[in-house]
Amino acid sequence: MANILNTLASGVINTALNKAVNPIGHNPMGSPMGAPMGVNPMGSPMGGAPQNAAPAPAGWDCSCGNRGNTGKFCAGCGKPQPALWDCSCGRKGNSGNFCADCGSPKPVLWDCPCGCKGNSSKFCAECGKPKPVLWDCSCGCKENSGKFCAECGKPKPEEA
Ligand SMILES: [Zn+2]
Ligand SMILES: [Zn+2]
Ligand SMILES: [Zn+2]
Ligand SMILES: [Zn+2]
């Protein structure tokens, strides 16, 4: 009788332990962990990406009167978008030939023989050489910057 009772008792205890362990062990490992892991990574990148990747394009106004151009060329006349320039007065992003704030003329960008391109000041930003003086050729070609006319090849006239 004692053996049977022991066997029954141990069997009941084992069954009770199994019932107690299984639910505790199964639930935390299963559904609670699984569901959020699957949903969140799919949700956030899909929702946030389009808003960040598409900034509002800034349109530019052409001198022909066509406003809000978004491409590199004017939708009205086909002229290329003018390069924006910063005035010495502090006004930035001017697109016309004159500063929108103080009216000073747009600085002419020039390329230094040293290889530095797009200098806007009187001296090269790289080597400090002064900006070459532009000169007009007798053939009609204007604003030559080199020693020879870009149109006819005539040498720059020496000024007395
Ligand atoms: Zn235009
Ligand atoms: Zn200005
Ligand atoms: Zn230079
Ligand atoms: Zn010339």
What pLDDT does 124 receive?
A: 93
Neighbours of ion ligand 2 (CB under 5 A): 87, 89, 91, 99, 101-102, 104
pLDDT at 143 over 80: yes
For the stretch 111-141, pLDDT in tens is: 888 999 988 788 999 999 998 888 999 999 9
- Evaluate whether 80 touches 73 at the Cβ level (below 8 Å): yes
Distance CA 138, CA 121 (A): 27
Which ligand does the CA of 81 lie closest to? 1
pLDDT of residue 10: 53
Ligand at minimal distance from the CA of 131 is: 3
**Whose atoms come closest to the Cα of 112: which ligand?**
3
Closest C-alpha among 120, 152, 119, 147 to residue 133: 147
Give residue 27's Cα distance to chain centre. Answer: 48
Burial class (CB in 10 A: 0-12, 13-18, 19+), 74: buried
pLDDT digits (tens, 9 = 90+) for 145-157: 788 999 999 999 8
Q: Which two tokens stand for residue 30?
A: 């299963």
| Mean pLDDT on 5-24 | 53
Per DSSP, what are the bridge partners of residue 105?
98
The CA-to-CA distance between both ends of the chain, in Å, stands at 134
pTM, rounded to two decimals: 0.33
Lowest mean pLDDT among 15-29, 89-103, 115-129: 15-29
